[in-house]
A = this chain, B = another copy of it.
């Protein structure tokens, strides 16, 4: 990892926005979060490496992968092939010369870190084993374990697997700070789906406020205080000078907060952690669009579609809007759409009408900005406006 001194850019690129089967306009779930030039991936459906090749996201810059749940079909079937491509995978040699990849060089490389629910580690390990895959660099899987999961165990490492994988227990129903550095942290909480599923909250550390040197330098000079005091003030600290003058650094601004949910019919357990998010990414698998969608069944109603959607562990746009309102999110992005909803709404008027119809349904419960994600949509998450 490159040391981060601050986030000059925080960019989201949707690499896949379909639930279940891919369509010609939407691939399976995957989302790239770019922190300056580093890339964190959230979910990794089949053909995510293909989508990366077609995007501005650089495969070689991926340093962490967060899995919301191990539904292979649309969320992790792209993980093993991506690891093989990222980490110079190979299938062994035929000439009797041992491939150096059969032994991991542990101390020279930071492992690629994978976070996910219980079962992620076994999936990766078995998949690599059964496919004779050797990796040229190590990986590690940290599992966010539920109280109902075994607390420990599972140590038959793959040759490329670092032994530093943690089994992270919950505290008060959430996983706090599963990752933290000076600039960014990740916490997580379970969200309700048909199988154990995780929502992630990515929080930027408070950002130093803008500093007007003219407010401080004359005082420092007068009291012969070393100029290095400026960096402490920049961090928002207060200090008393030798003549009793109090200097107060500028107030820090809150950092950006992104909430990235997996599949869910009720994300309540993450509500507190997700409070006041700058951006909420929430699934909206199925919608009732009687006037817009010609495949609508005659007998369907908003209620019947919602009941069916929930029974499969998913949400409607209205449910996503209601949750965005509940946590006070400043912006809502809908994703994980049924492949019946076309993803070419940037060029096709019919598709545009349908996706606008989905956004309108979410507006019934939420008044903030709503965006329907499409594949390769990419935007920066801006710094929250300085308050006061």
Contacts and interface: CB of A to CB of B under 8 A. Distances in A.
A24 B80 CA distance: 20
A162 interface: no
B72 A131 contact: yes
B94 A192 contact: yes
A247 B78 CA distance: 63
Copies of this subunit: 2
Nearest to A77: B81
Contacts of A208: none
A313 interface: yes
Contacts of A73: 80-81, 84-85, 89, 91, 131, 133
Nearest to A71: B91
B92 A195 contact: yes
A81 B46 contact: yes
Interface string A271-309: 000000000000000000000000000000000000000
Contacts of A49: 21-22, 46
A84 B97 contact: no
Contacts of A50: 22, 27, 46-47, 50
A130 B72 contact: yes
A265 interface: yes
A6 to B, nearest CB: 34
Nearest to A75: B131
A126 interface: yes
Contacts of A94: 192-194, 265, 310-313
Given A73-B81, A81-B77, A93 B130 contact: no
Interface of A is mostly: loop
Contact of A130 (B123, B310, B313): B123
A372 to B, nearest CB: 22
Given A72-B80, A92-B195, A313-B91, A21 B119 contact: no
Interface string A43-87: 000110110011000000000000000111100111011001100
A384 B195 CA distance: 54
A73 B86 CA distance: 11
A132 B195 contact: yes
28 contacts: A21-B49, A22-B50, A23-B53, A24-B53, A46-B49, A46-B77, A47-B50, A50-B50, A71-B132, A72-B127, A72-B133, A73-B80, A73-B81, A73-B84, A73-B131, A77-B81, A77-B131, A90-B312, A91-B194, A92-B194, A93-B311, A94-B192, A94-B265, A94-B310, A123-B126, A123-B127, A123-B131, A126-B130
